[in-house]
């Protein structure tokens, strides 16, 4: 996984130096962005675990969704990389569909 940032940069055609890691707990997503991520995760779960039932409210993610987030310097897009077993997806969220939460605590 040490080459992940480089790999993501190649996949989305962005210089890896412009990718800045961000904790997704610090991000607030629009409803549309949340639905996009949920659809991608639902599809990945269905591919890996066909017995998981998904619905309008989504499946129960008992361990969360394993993902990493990067914001792109210059465009402020949010790049989310999701990995589940043998499947992975990269989702690009436009800058108007996410913000830094204002209730985060810096330690």
Does residue 64 have a pLDDT over 50? yes
d(CA 42, CA 61): 10
Give pLDDT, residue 4. Answer: 87
What tokens were used for 45?
A: 């779960």
Number of H helices, E strands in the chain: 2, 6
Average pLDDT over residues 51-78: 70
Q: Dihedral sign, CA of 18, 20, 26, 29?
A: positive
Return the residue matching tokens 């992940």.
4
In this prediction the pTM is 0.77
Q: Are 14 and 79 in contact (CB under 8 A)?
A: yes
H-type alpha helices, the chain: 4-11, 31-48
Quick check: 1 pLDDT over 70? no
The region of weakest confidence among 61-65, 79-83, 91-95 is 61-65
If you average pLDDT over residues 35-44, what whole number do you get?
88
């Amino acid at each position: 996984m040490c080459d992940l940032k480089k790999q993501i940069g190649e996949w989305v055609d962005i210089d890896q130096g412009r990718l800045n890691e961000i904790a997704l707990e610090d991000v607030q997503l629009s409803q549309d962005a949340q639905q996009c991520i949920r659809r991608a995760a639902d599809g990945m779960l269905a591919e890996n675990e066909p017995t998981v039932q998904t619905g309008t409210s989504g499946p129960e993610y008992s361990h969360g969704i394993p993902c990493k987030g990067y914001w792109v310097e210059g465009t402020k897009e949010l790049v989310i990389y999701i990995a589940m077993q043998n499947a992975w997806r990269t989702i690009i969220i436009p800058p108007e569909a996410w913000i830094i939460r204002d209730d985060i605590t810096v330690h």
